[in-house]
Structure 1
Amino acid sequence: MPQPIVALVGATASGKTGLSLDLAERLGGEVVNTDAMQVYRGMDVGTAKLPPAERRGIPHHLLDLLDVTEPATVALFQGWARDAIADIRRRDATPVLVGGSALYTRAIVDRFEFPGTDDSLRRELEAELTRIGSHALHDRLAGVDPEAAAQIQPDNGRRVVRALEVVALTGRPFSASLPRLEYVDPLTVQIGVDIDRPTLDERIARRVDEMFATGLVEEVEALLAQGLAEVRTANRAIGYREVVGFLAGDRTLAEAVEQTKTATRRFARRQDAWFRKDPRIVWVAHDDPDRVEKAVRALPET
């Protein structure tokens, strides 16, 4: 019987990383990254990527796969993650998924089929995105697929473009291709890290201050030299876009810090809202001394 698949979810800075290490140690597991930005080499400080020395000797997968000039897609990530999970289970170990990208986690654990793409149509929509902005395209999406528009933030231009592309290609709503609440493998459990908003906001503020103090600006400078500004995927990451603006003279360093904190708080609220809609998630308090045992008790029997 294969080992279960454990997916840790929750807001950024809620304590998922520490719990993933504790669970991997407890279960004899290996960690699979599900953060969309930690796949990039060199994006370390701004993504809170755990340094190798702090991984407790636990194998970690899907980190540092791409240069910042290479675009990542959910479909690609789905394939990589499912391959990694299968390999881990073949070795009778437990895959422990962890990361803040809700769509990536759902794409991995749930039934989620990806419609095709059309390069010329994508380029046309991206040109419109540049010309009129994501909010105008989001309004268009709301007219043809209100359900998808309700699930996509107006400032997430990349996802708005993808949704419009799918509608144009398939003649069906983009929402029809979104993941269903149905696990691909029934031996799957999602553990959510529950944390109150004031504590989370304090953690976010400390994390952002630490990022800037430990070299985020220098990291962005190095990545810009490698082509960060040329690819939409990586350069829109929170913290990175604010530092790019600072380096371009569009804002002060203090403004970049505060804007990063504000954007991170907003992102954390969107994450929490997304995960709270999933009734399958078993929630454990971030500061519960028994959170590891409670998580283990939630696992399906194998």
Structure 2
Amino acid sequence: MAMNAVIKKVVAFIMVATRLGKSKLSVSLAPRTGGEIINSNKIQVYRGLDALGNKIPKVEKLGVPHHLLGHVGNPDEEYTAREFGFDATSVIEQIINSGKVPIVRGGSNSFIETLVKDPDFKFKSNYLGCFIWLDVSPNVFNTFVSKQVNQMVNQGLAEEVRGIFALDKDYTKGI
């Protein structure tokens, strides 16, 4: 009697505290695993907002494909965790069908939790999740974040925020 074994494909998740190098770690891991990166940061899904979202510059991507990075047009547009789940599931399938490994670069835990736990996405029945979580001491974290914030300011953070802020906007939607 032959057993019908279901072979699940691996989806890697990089989970690191904010501003501690998830992008660099993901870009470093991708060529070693034949991977492509899926963004799950709530700010980085929006087009523009490069300084505010601290998006990885093209030169630092080192040719590694990045998905769901800047694909939502307007920062006032609502983009929910469920929408992310549908988009991410589609991209995961595209990456797997091309023979590569999906690497979900963390950022917004609500996006990842919805993708993995919502029964509509059938993640647990179709994939094996490999979660890589890195933690650092508070001293290292504070030093690194201070440098990152200074870098973001130097890249035009204040001007970028001024460009999207208006007193008459409805800030209950979008970012």
TM-score bracket for the superposition, by shorter chain length: 0.7 to 0.9
CA contact (8 A) 1:14 1:194 kept: no
Aligned to 1:40: 46
- Give 1:72 deviation, angstroms: 0.8
CA offset digits 1:28-83 (Å, max 9, x no partner)? 11000011111111111011111222211011000112211211111111100011
Calculate the aligned-residue CA RMSD, in Å. Answer: 2.2
- Give 1:18 deviation, angstroms: 1.2
Aligned to 2:57: 51
User: Unaligned 5+ residue runs, structure 2?
Assistant: 1-6
- Give 1:12 deviation, angstroms: 0.5
The alignment of Structure 1 onto Structure 2 pairs a total of residues equal to: 166
- Give 1:9 deviation, angstroms: 0.7
User: Unaligned 5+ residue runs, structure 1?
Assistant: 115-181, 236-302
Query: Identity of counterpart residues, as a percentage?
Result: 30
DSSP 3-state at the match of 1:92: coil
Larger Rg belongs to: 1
Aligned counterparts, 1:82-121, within 5 A: 82-108=89-115, 110-113=116-119
Amino acid at match of 1:39: V
Aligned to 1:168: none
Aligned to 1:9: 15
Aligned counterparts, 1:97-246, within 5 A: 97-108=104-115, 110-113=116-119, 183-224=124-165, 229-235=169-175
Considering Cα pairs closer than 8 Å and 6+ residues apart, tell me whether 1 or 2 has the greater RCO: 2
- Give 1:183 deviation, angstroms: 3.0
Amino acid at match of 2:151: E
DSSP 3-state at the match of 2:102: strand
- Give 1:213 deviation, angstroms: 2.0
Hey, what's the Cα distance between the residues in 1 that align with 2:58 and 2:161? 21
Aligned to 1:18: 24
Amino acid at match of 2:89: R
Aligned to 2:4: none
DSSP 3-state at the match of 2:124: coil
- Give 1:93 deviation, angstroms: 0.4
Hey, what's the Cα distance between the residues in 1 that align with 2:75 and 2:168? 6
DSSP 3-state at the match of 1:208: helix
CA contact (8 A) 2:14 2:106 kept: yes
CA contact (8 A) 2:8 2:127 kept: no
Hey, what's the Cα distance between the residues in 1 that align with 2:69 and 2:38? 8
Hey, what's the Cα distance between the residues in 1 that align with 2:145 and 2:22? 13
Question: Which structure: greater helix fraction?
Answer: 1
